[in-house]
Chains A and B, each alone.
Chain A
Amino acid sequence: MRAEMREIVNLKIRLGELVDTKDFNVVQYLGDPLNAVKVLSSFDYAELSLFDISGRYGRVNGIDVQLINRLAKWCPIPMSYAGNIASVDDAISIIRCGIEKIALGQTWINHPQLISDISRAIGSQSTSVILNVISRSEAQCHWAVATLQHGLIREHIPLTFDLIQSLVTLGAGELYINHVSRDGSREGLDRHLCDFLAKSSPVPVIIQGGALETCVSYVQSKAEYAGLSVALSSTASLYGRSRACLPHCTKALKRAKSTEDRMSHNLFSN
């Protein structure tokens, strides 16, 4: 028996506010992250991942340790954090707040040594590496790792078996795949990408982008996907089990006719 497939909720935060994104651009303010953490951590999700995306929209002054502390205090389930991590000290300060794992964002592209340094300090099991992936051609199974800055997507290197191996050799204990091309689309996961990752990665992989709750049972049912876990966005999670216990959200979702309408409700506001 192995560890169970993890169903993870991903919360994106910009300047202290919970937001939702589509194609990695912020489309909607969703409310207070603390309320979201309190609500979502009661739904039997395996983990909660917190992405501070403030850095993509301009210069930020380091990591908001106060916010992480506040959120970690109210989160009884395991938590990971990504955003603005630029040194080993940053990683340690996050772990000390009560976070189990840190995920290193696009910084690793220019500073791959940082993966090794962080991994040596906090262990590879707590060091995840984020790969922002865009589809060049889904049918031909071509993907590339991209960076995102000020809303612009820049393609960097092809996503290959060798790239995954080199990240693992550097000390990555987990890969967090952000499928940018499917972000916020709710089209479901890219099965070719899932197949490729399941075959290529010797470390656990979390895949995000287009995921719905039905994707969770699909990944769970396939034995060859044993190392894969699925991350749902905070709004995607509301279409599943959280719905029953959030009557105000359910009503709002029923009233909403389109995806944009659904997103216009501040689901996690007080």
Chain B
Amino acid sequence: MTKPLAGILDVGVSNMGAPRRMLDLGGFATRLVTNANDFKKLDLVVCPGVSGLDYLICELKRLKILDSLFEAVSGRGLPYLGICAGLQLLTLGSEETKREGLGIIPLKCEKFPSNKERISPHIGWNTVTLNPSFSLREVSNNWKYKAYFLHSYAIKTAFESDLLFQTTNEYEFVSGFKIRNFWAMQFHIEKSQIIGNEILTMIRTEL
């Protein structure tokens, strides 16, 4: 059986090693996406995390990938998996970013407040829970896992989706969602072990 082909967006700044290893172990063939032509023949496009959103958008524009990415995922319906900054790329950006994201989610990311009482960025392991009001899928009600977070910005407001995961750090935020062909996780699924494998299996089943 041929393995589905996952393309990892390579804009020079992101963590390439960990997502690549996760996809290899999850039964995907992988290749790097560095130009507009690389989207052909892909079964999944992955936008890895560990970078500033502004810097990520800037590099995607500089490499002339942003428009082709939008056309591939929004026009052709190519499945998309966004990790951390890859999730934020689907929004309208944040108050502090100079550039706009893809706008698939018509919301802005907000920065966690940082002062003596509130610690930000959100770094470490925290609980991810499934919001039953936004679940069109058969997923166990006890769906509650630990996941690894490393971020300063998050989407605060819950929105209509096929699946919506939430986490609390001072306030509740969207830690992951699935809408149409878009899977996006604020936590690092490549380091979150059990939950990471579970989500990757769900994606693979849908391809």
Q: Which residues does A use to contact B, with CB under 8 Å?
A: 1-6, 46-47, 69, 72-73, 76-78, 92, 95-101, 119-126, 168, 173-174, 199-204, 226-227, 229
Question: Quick check: B152 and A98 within 8 Å, CB to CB?
Answer: no
What is the size category of the interface that chain B forms with chain A? 35 or more
Chain B: minimal CB distance from A24 (Å)? 25
* A229-B125 Cα distance, complex, nearest whole Å: 12
Residues in A whose Cβ lies below 8 Å from that of B121 = 124-125, 173-174, 203-204
Does B2 lie at the interface of the complex (its beta carbon under 8 Å from any beta carbon of A)? Answer: no
Question: Quick check: A2 and B152 within 8 Å, CB to CB?
Answer: no
Q: Flag B130-166 by CB within 8 Å of A: 1 or 0 each.
A: 0000000000000000101111100000000000000
Question: Quick check: A203 and B114 within 8 Å, CB to CB?
Answer: yes
Residues in B whose Cβ lies below 8 Å from that of A100 = 15, 18, 50, 148, 150, 188, 191
Given contacts A123-B152, A199-B116, contact A4 B15 (CB under 8 A): no
Q: Which residue on A lies nearest to B59, using beta carbons?
A: A121
Which one, B53, B118, B123, B127, contacts A173 given CB within 8 A? B123
* A151-B126 Cα distance, complex, nearest whole Å: 39
The list of the 5 closest CB pairs from A to B, nearest first, reads A98-B17, A3-B124, A227-B119, A125-B121, A98-B18
Chain A: minimal CB distance from B143 (Å)? 17
Q: Which residue on B lies nearest to A92, using beta carbons?
A: B13
Q: Flag B175-194 by CB within 8 Å of A: 1 or 0 each.
A: 00000000000001001010
Residues in A whose Cβ lies below 8 Å from that of B126 = 1-4
Q: Which residue on A lies nearest to B20, using beta carbons?
A: A98
Report B17-64 residues with CB < 8 Å from chain A CB: 17-18, 20-21, 50-55
Given contacts A72-B18, A203-B119, contact A101 B114 (CB under 8 A): no
Residues in A whose Cβ lies below 8 Å from that of B152 = 123-125, 173
Known: A72-B17, A126-B50. 13 other contacts (CB 8 A): A2-B119, A2-B122, A3-B126, A95-B51, A96-B13, A99-B15, A119-B52, A120-B52, A121-B55, A122-B13, A125-B122, A200-B116, A202-B116
Residues in B whose Cβ lies below 8 Å from that of A92 = 12-13
Q: Which residue on A lies nearest to B168, using beta carbons?
A: A1
Which one, B115, B119, B191, contacts A77 given CB within 8 A? B191
Does B16 lie at the interface of the complex (its beta carbon under 8 Å from any beta carbon of A)? Answer: yes
Residues in B whose Cβ lies below 8 Å from that of A168 = 114
Question: Quick check: B168 and A202 within 8 Å, CB to CB?
Answer: no
Question: Quick check: B191 and A96 within 8 Å, CB to CB?
Answer: no
Question: Quick check: A123 and B168 within 8 Å, CB to CB?
Answer: no
